[in-house]
Chains A and B, each alone.
Chain A
Amino acid sequence: MLYRTAGQFKTSYKADHALFPVRQDAVLLWIIVFLAVVVFPLTASEFTFQALLIPVLIYSLAALGLNILTGYAGQLSLGTAAFMGVGAYATYKLITIFPEMNLLAAILLSGFFSAAVGAAFGLPSLRIKGFYLAIATLAAQFFLVWLFEKWAWLYNYNASGAIQVPNIDFFGIRVAGPTAKSIVQYYFVLGVVALMTALSINLTRGRIGRIWKAVRDMDIAAELVGINLMKAKLLAFAVSSYICGVAGALFVFLWRGAAEPNLFDIPLSFRILFIAIIGGLGSVMGNFLGALLIVALPVVINTIPDALGLDIGAAPLEHINTMIVGGLIIFFLIVEPLGLARLWQIIREKFIIWPFPH
Chain B
Amino acid sequence: MNVHVARSGPAKRLRADDGIAKGEQLLVVDNISLAFGGVKAITDISFDIAKGEIRAIIGPNGAGKTSMLNVINGFYHPQQGTITFRGQTRRRMRPHEAVAQGIARTFQNVALFHGMTTLDNIMTGRSVFMHQPLWWQAIWSGPALEEEIEHREAVEEIIDFLEIEHIRKTPVGSLPYGLQKRVELGRALAAEPALLLLDEPMAGMNLEEKEDMSRFILDVNQQYGTTIALIEHDMGVVMDLSDRVVVLDYGCKIGDGTPDEVRANQDVIDAYLGVPRD
**Chain B binds chain A:** yes
Q: A residues near B, CB below 8 A?
A: 5, 8-14, 16-17, 19, 21-22, 199, 202-203, 205-208, 210-211, 213-214, 216-218, 220-229, 235, 239, 282
Q: Which residues in B have their C-beta under 8 angstroms from that of A216? A: 113, 115
Q: Which residues in B have their C-beta under 8 angstroms from that of A211? A: 124, 127
Is B39 engaged at the interface, CB distance under 8 Å to the other chain? no
Is B145 engaged at the interface, CB distance under 8 Å to the other chain? yes
Instruction: Say whether B113 contacts A217, CB under 8 Å.
Output: yes
Is B95 engaged at the interface, CB distance under 8 Å to the other chain? yes
Assembled-state Cα–Cα distance A202/B191 (Å) = 23
Q: B residues near A, CB below 8 A?
A: 1-5, 73, 75, 94-96, 99-100, 104-105, 107, 111-116, 120, 123-125, 127-128, 130, 132, 134, 137-140, 144-145, 147-149, 152-153, 156, 187-188, 191
Assembled-state Cα–Cα distance A282/B173 (Å) = 16
Q: Which of B104, B111, B114, B145 has the most CB of A within 10 A?
A: B111
Instruction: Say whether B2 contacts A9, CB under 8 Å.
Output: yes
Given pairs A12-B5, A210-B116, A213-B116, 16 additional interface contacts (CB within 8 A): A8-B1, A10-B4, A13-B156, A203-B138, A206-B137, A206-B148, A207-B127, A207-B132, A207-B147, A214-B116, A221-B113, A223-B94, A223-B95, A224-B75, A225-B127, A226-B191
Assembled-state Cα–Cα distance A283/B94 (Å) = 31
Q: Which residues in A have their C-beta under 8 angstroms from that of B105? A: 224
Instruction: Say whether A199 contacts B113, CB under 8 Å.
Output: no
Assembled-state Cα–Cα distance A19/B139 (Å) = 12
Q: Which residues in A have their C-beta under 8 angstroms from that of B96? A: 223-224, 226-229
Instruction: Say whether B134 contacts A226, CB under 8 Å.
Output: no
Q: Which residues in A have their C-beta under 8 angstroms from that of B128? A: 225-226
Instruction: Say whether A203 contacts B127, CB under 8 Å.
Output: no
Q: Which of A203, A213, A225, A229 has the most CB of B within 10 A?
A: A225
Option from B3, B138, B187 in Cβ contact (under 8 Å) with A225: B187
Q: Which residues in A have their C-beta under 8 angstroms from that of B153? A: 13
Q: Which residues in A have their C-beta under 8 angstroms from that of B99? A: 224-226
Instruction: Say whether A14 contacts B111, CB under 8 Å.
Output: no
Instruction: Say whether A225 contacts B149, CB under 8 Å.
Output: no
A277 → B minimal CB distance (Å)? 16
Instruction: Say whether A13 contacts B95, CB under 8 Å.
Output: no
Q: Which residues in A have their C-beta under 8 angstroms from that of B1? A: 5, 8, 10, 16, 21-22
Q: Which residues in B have their C-beta under 8 angstroms from that of A8? A: 1
Q: Which residues in B have their C-beta under 8 angstroms from that of A19? A: 140
Instruction: Say whether A225 contacts B124, CB under 8 Å.
Output: yes
Instruction: Say whether A208 contacts B100, CB under 8 Å.
Output: no
A129 → B minimal CB distance (Å)? 16
Instruction: Say whether A227 contacts B127, CB under 8 Å.
Output: yes
Could you list 26 A-B pairs, sorted by A, with CB under 8 Å?
A: A5-B1, A9-B4, A10-B3, A17-B152, A21-B1, A202-B140, A205-B140, A206-B140, A207-B123, A210-B120, A210-B127, A213-B113, A213-B116, A213-B120, A213-B124, A214-B113, A214-B124, A217-B112, A218-B112, A220-B75, A222-B124, A225-B99, A226-B99, A226-B127, A227-B124, A282-B115
